[in-house]
Amino acid sequence: MKRAVVLGGSIAGLYAARALSDHADDVVILDAEDTGEGGTGEACTGRGAPQRHQLHALLSMGHTQLERWFPGITGELVAAGARLGTGPEVQFYVDGALKAPVADIRMLGATRPFIESRVRRRVAALPNVHILQGQARGLLFGAGRVRGVRYSAAEDTSAAPGHGSELDADLVVDAMGRSSRLGSWLLRGGWDHAPLDRMRIDLGYATAVFRRGDELPGTVVAHASPGPASGYQPTLSEPGAMVAVEDNRWMVVLAGYTGHRPGRDPGEFLARMRRCVGPLREIADRCAMDGDVRTFHFQESRRRDFTRLRRFPGGLVAVGDSVASVNPVYGQGLTLAALQASCLAAALRAGAAPHDPAWDYFRRAGVVVDAAWQVSATADLAQPHVKGPYPRGHRLVRWAGDKIMEASVIDSRVNQAFMDVVHMRRHPNTLTRPRLLARAARVLSTR
Ligand SMILES: Cc1cc2nc3c(=O)[nH]c(=O)nc-3n(C[C@H](O)[C@H](O)[C@H](O)COP(=O)(O)OP(=O)(O)OC[C@H]3O[C@@H](n4cnc5c(N)ncnc54)[C@H](O)[C@@H]3O)c2cc1C
């Protein structure tokens, strides 16, 4: 194809642009924000993705995908101050108990802007990729397909909808995040928007940064969540996570639902850290907080299911949060964006024509989104304030999940299977395999 235009130059847009650079003569990334000198993203204000400054964990599959698309980037990031956590350096706790170690876990300790700026630098250096600052205003339709976009250039962001410049494209990618207006643009063009699934969760997040010294040398990531023993409530330990990041800092996040959402007060934040697992308590006691506590309110998980549409214009795909944005506690968003780029590449390699409706891409990406949704929705439905919708077979999946979770605290093999799902390396259905359930039952009966 001659030209692909990617709307949104955050993480999903960058992955999509990288994948498309193998298939298009010219790839244009259009982002409403100033992505920084040379497109490094360091000047980003975070308006487009206000969650950028919250702790972002990169799952094992996300790390594999990062290396797949940007070979050698781990070394670059680590040389610049990131930490790569493996094996026992990655610690997961349930109801305050440290889970059995999993040898092949790998998680990168770095802030999201740090990872994203390096990714953006790599993408910007590709000879056929160009980053343009401007706000997408709508799609151009013709002959049953999207044939380009209308946008206002950075110097003209006040242009009324319907005005501005135009860019022709063989393929347009919506990577505009949760606030994407793709649905209304499709309606305006005479097409349907994709059905939206929502799950109200009312989650509060608070992140703070601490100076890192020589404490906890064997820890890169520590993650604590409530589980079956507490009825998934923060009674045995506060839910939270910490990651060793660049510039010798710890990043710590606390989470809570409805009336238990964490606030901005540093004293309260520290008090709550002291009700969490050992590593977070140690940071609260030994390290100085650096800067303010930043909060974020995440009201609902959402996903748009393009595979349920009967008709769809050619020349258009969607990736990242514009498709699905699930409870961030499970840390799936960055990995999902990378996997969707891989699905797009696979569909194009399999012969998908950019001007045709992208059913093959949406089917492949749908499998990955379904898996992420299944993990987050099953866990969220364990919260008494989450009222559904309940998927078919929820009781069985929930029962199996509880048993596996309990056994994973004791048994490395069960934990390996569980972590493979948490880290998006395997489909959640693998947790209902009879052999795994039998092993979990055996482990629990010998407690
Ligand atoms: C509190 C919180 C914590 C999270 N923690 C994690 C975590 O630990 N691990 C993890 O993997 N994920 C996490 N996530 C999810 C992750 O942040 C998202 O999945 C990820 O940002 C999605 O990337 P994206 O590129 O699709 O969208 P975004 O990052 O939202 O970017 C959208 C981009 O589109 C641009 N844009 C929007 N409209 C236009 C327009 N009209 N024209 C041009 N450009 C436009 C914006 O400027 C922006 O740059 C978290 C999310 C939240 C809310």
Task: Tell me whether the CATH fold assigned to 3-53+118-197+303-377 matches the one assigned to 82-114+199-299.
Answer: no
Q: Specify the pLDDT at position 145.
A: 97
Q: Specify the pLDDT at position 26.
A: 98
Domain at 3-53+118-197+303-377: CATH architecture: 3-Layer(bba) Sandwich (3.50)
Q: Specify the pLDDT at position 44.
A: 46
Q: Tell whether the model's pLDDT for residue 267 goes beyond 60.
A: yes
Please state, in angstroms and rounded to a whole number, the distance separating the CA atoms of residues 115 and 439. 39
Question: Rounded to the nearest whole angstrom, what is the distance from the C-alpha of residue 35 to the centroid of ligand 1?
Answer: 14
Nearest to 286 by CA among 298, 274, 294: 274
Ligand 1 pocket test: pick from 30, 34, 51 the residue with the most ligand atoms within 8 Å of its Cβ.
51
Q: Specify the pLDDT at position 158.
A: 55
Provide the β-strand partners of residue 98.
93
The protein residue whose alpha carbon is closest to atom 28 in ligand 1 is 177
Across the range 259-271, mean pLDDT stands at 96
Ligand 1 pocket test: pick from 112, 139, 176 the residue with the most ligand atoms within 8 Å of its Cβ.
176
Q: Which atom of ligand 1 is nearest to the CA of 135?
A: 42
The protein residue whose alpha carbon is closest to atom 1 in ligand 1 is 51
Band of pLDDT at residue 156, cut at 50, 70 and 90: low
- Residue 143 in contact with residue 157, Cβ under 8 Å? no
Ligand 1 pocket test: pick from 34, 54, 137 the residue with the most ligand atoms within 8 Å of its Cβ.
54
Across the range 423-430, mean pLDDT stands at 94
Q: Tell whether the model's pLDDT for residue 160 goes beyond 80.
A: no
- Residue 16 in contact with residue 340, Cβ under 8 Å? yes
From edge to edge, which strands make up the β-sheet containing 3-7? Answer: 165-168, 145-153, 129-142, 26-31, 3-7, 171-174, 316-318
Question: Rounded to the nearest whole angstrom, what is the distance from the C-alpha of residue 397 to the centroid of ligand 1?
Answer: 29
Average pLDDT across the chain, whole number: 93
Q: Specify the pLDDT at position 163.
A: 59
- Cα distance from N-terminal residue to C-terminal residue, the chain: 60
Give the chain's length: 447
pLDDT in tens, 43-102: 444 445 788 889 999 999 999 999 999 999 999 999 999 999 999 999 999 999 999 888
Ligand 1 pocket test: pick from 29, 56, 368 the residue with the most ligand atoms within 8 Å of its Cβ.
56
Nearest to 226 by CA among 207, 254, 252, 248: 254
Q: What percent of the chain is modeled with pLDDT above 90?
A: 84
pLDDT in tens, 367-389: 999 999 999 998 899 888 998 88
Question: Rounded to the nearest whole angstrom, what is the distance from the C-alpha of residue 10 to the centroid of ligand 1?
Answer: 6
- CATH classification for the domain delimited by 82-114+199-299, as one of 3.30.9, 1.25.40, 2.40.128, 1.10.3470: 3.30.9
Q: Specify the pLDDT at position 88.
A: 93
Residue 70: other Cβ atoms inside 10 A: 20
* Domain boundaries, given as residue ranges, for the chain: 3-53+118-197+303-377, 82-114+199-299, 392-445
Residue 98: other Cβ atoms inside 10 A: 16
Band of pLDDT at residue 38, cut at 50, 70 and 90: very low
pLDDT in tens, 307-331: 999 999 999 999 999 999 999 999 9
Q: Specify the pLDDT at position 98.
A: 94
Provide the β-strand partners of residue 166.
150
Q: CB within 6 Å of ligand 1 — which residues?
A: 7-13, 30-33, 48-49, 51, 54-57, 135-136, 175-179, 205, 296, 298, 320-321, 325, 328, 331-335, 337
Q: Specify the pLDDT at position 37.
A: 45
Residue 114 C-beta-side C-alpha neighbours within 13 Å = 25
Q: Specify the pLDDT at position 39.
A: 42
The protein residue whose alpha carbon is closest to atom 51 in ligand 1 is 328
- Using left for φ > 0, alpha for ψ between -120 and 50, and beta otherwise, residue 377 falls in alpha
Question: Rounded to the nearest whole angstrom, what is the distance from the C-alpha of residue 43 to the centroid of ligand 1?
Answer: 16
Q: Which atom of ligand 1 is nearest to the CA of 205?
A: 1
Question: Rounded to the nearest whole angstrom, what is the distance from the C-alpha of residue 321 to the centroid of ligand 1?
Answer: 6
Q: Specify the pLDDT at position 43.
A: 46
Q: Specify the pLDDT at position 45.
A: 45
Across the range 181-189, mean pLDDT stands at 97
